[in-house]
Structure 1
Amino acid sequence: MRVAMVVPSNGFVGGIERHAHDLARGLSGRGHELTLVYGDLPGRQPTRFAEPFARAIPRSEAHTLRSATADGGVDIVYVHRAASAEELVDFGPLPLVVVSHDHDLTCVRSHRYLPIGHAPCHRPPGLACFRHGCVVVRDRRPESRLPVTLKNPYLLRRRLRGLATRAPLVSCSRYVRDQLVRAGVPPSRAHVIHPIPPEDDRPTVPRPKAPHLVCAGNLLRGKGVDIAIDAMRHLPADTELTIVGDGPSRADLERQAIAEAPRRIRFTGWVPPGEIASFYDQASVVVVPSRWPEPFGMVGIEAMRRARPVVAAGHGGIEEWANGTAGARTFAPGDARSLAEAARALLANDDAGSAALLHAQERFPHARLLDEVEALLGQVAA
């Protein structure tokens, strides 16, 4: 099958791009021909990012894909993120699948936590958005003259219903699917396919005895890295924390680290996807402290593949992989003391790493992702 994969950027940025790259590599390995359609967002390592694709074109040339019989045509388009059906008009009548990786389609703030107090929010877009002040959001458009703008939750719902009419939606977790359905998407138009990362062929290494936590991801408020730093005050003085990643919150987090746990916290900056596993190997426990209800949380599966136990915020899609194993423990979202208690329990469990590895191997094989995507593509393209 000839598949066009639409991605916001031409390079690695975050989880969406990593998943798109891994999925393209897997589908290409099964004989499908992949075309990369990349957006305007800047990304890292564009050459490596494009390796699984037979060719790459900018989003502005998407109209050239319309004919399935002409050279360069495709059979179906797999879109990683779209806000409305209007964004997809360039693809004409081609069959489409749209992937919902986050909360953009069901939350006016995109974060699913409240602006005051930062408590998680699981409500559908509607009156509650006005009541909690969520309709006032930052305006990051370069041409904007004001720092904020207003978002209409009812317009968000209308756009979502229009999008679901144009294309079936793939949710990265049951949690995200439930939010789509509550916002008005017919259940038959919302599918769940977990973005399971590929297996790591490198042999695992013994888990360090020293208490060493690792937290990997974009340094944004929603990722809750400040909660992990705060938890260091409730852990033994010899516990260390390595923070892998970069982002707009880094300077604030570095100041917090110096104030709360001097000389115990290290920042690595951005690390290429292929090198993150080496930091998991240094960990005795990996931390996923997300403030927002994480749509899925691939970091947890990646860490378990390296035989590392995971402590993670107990909400969103995280619970779909963190429950049912001694290799993971959840904590009360936003609660640093609860995080520390969960981390201590895993640090004291010598079998937690092997339990995590077995859980990832048995319940989250990468082949399952490829099977489910292939089945849906075939169904929609038929």
Structure 2
Amino acid sequence: MHVVWINEDADFTGGCESYIYQSVGLLAEKNIKSTLMYKVGSPKSAEFLNQFEQAFPMVDIESQLVQLQPDIIYVHSLNDIETLKRIVAFPCQKIRFFHDQRAFCLRDHKYTTIGKKPCAKKLGLDCYSCLGFLKPSSMPWKVGLRTLGELKASLKLNQQFDRVLVGSNYMAEQLKMH
């Protein structure tokens, strides 16, 4: 069996990357091959990369998946709609793991801008009041925009995965709500 793991980073940037690292090690004990595909320019560490039999930046995801011929694609952290579309179209089993709020919140973390209180609202027009639609940009003005349409399109794509996993009851409720 061959699992292709897709994660934006190829490093221990958060707790869930440790989960990937440990899972790949346990799967290797059962002779399950693991390949990592990560975002170009993302953080990388040799220790993290060495856990996988192969690791590649996502350059041309369609042709890379054709060459790799995975049995399962496990998407951990990825919010690029165009890449998600290509993954969903690939003919194999696909699993999506949700561990953070980026799929449900313009601000990425479900805390209000003013007062820093947890937000329990469903994705919608109220989200613009939290100013989460403003995002860093490489353009000279240093501010970009994030839209509800992008998040809704991403959520719709995520419904096409064969399986969805979450790391907590809270995330399961968030996923149901959205």
> Would you call these one fold, judging by a TM-score over 0.5?
yes
Deviations 1:32-58 (A, max 9, x none): 1111112224435x2211222111122
- In the alignment, which residue of structure 2 is the partner of 1:43? 43
Query: In 2, distance between residues paired with 1:82 and 1:43?
Result: 14
Q: Whose radius of gyration is greater, 1 or 2?
A: 1
Distance 1:34 1:150, change over 3 A: closer
Aligned-partner SS, 1:104: helix
1:170 to 165, 170, 174: 165
Counterpart for residue 10 of structure 2: 10
- Aligned equivalents of 2:84 and 2:48: distance in 1? 23
Q: Distance in 2 between matches of 1:162 and 1:73?
A: 21
Amino acid at match of 1:15: G
**Alpha-carbon distance in structure 2 between the residues aligned to 1:115 and 1:181:** 24
Give unmatched runs, 5+ long, in structure 1.
184-382
Q: Distance in 1 between matches of 2:35 and 2:150?
A: 32
Aligned length: 176
Higher relative contact order (CA 8 A, sep 6+): 2
List gaps (5 residues or longer) in structure 2.
none
| Aligned-partner SS, 1:77 | strand
Q: 1:167 to 1:143 in 2, by over 3 A?
A: farther
Q: Which amino acid aligns with 1:82?
A: L
Question: Whole-Å Cα distance in 1 between the matches of residues 146 and 4 of structure 2?
Answer: 34
Between the aligned residues of both structures, percent identity stands at 24
Query: Paired residue for 2:92?
Result: 94
The DSSP-based 3-state class of the residue aligned with 1:124 is coil
Instruction: Name the structure 1 match of 2:26.
Output: 26
Match of 1:73 in 2: 69
Could you say what secondary structure the match of 1:66 adopts?
helix
Out of 139, 156, 161, which is 2:151 matched to?
A: 156
CA change 1:101–1:144 in 2 (3 A) is farther
Q: 1:162 to 1:89 in 2, by over 3 A?
A: closer
The two structures, once aligned, show a CA RMSD in angstroms of 2.4
Give the TM-score normalised by the residue count of structure 2. 0.84
Partner amino acid for 2:5? M
Q: Distance in 2 between matches of 1:148 and 1:73?
A: 36
Matches within 5 A, 1:240-259: none
SS in 2 for 1:111: coil
Listed one character per residue, the Cα deviations across residues 131-171 of structure 1 (whole Å, up to 9, x for unaligned) are xx12444421212625363532x552343023212443221
Change (3 A) 1:155 1:62: closer
The residue matched to 1:165 in structure 2 has which SS?
A: coil
Residues 10/147 of structure 1: CA separation in 2 closer, same or farther (3 Å cut): same
Distance 1:65 1:73, change over 3 A: farther
Q: 1:76 to 1:85 in 2, by over 3 A?
A: farther
TM-score by length of 1: 0.42
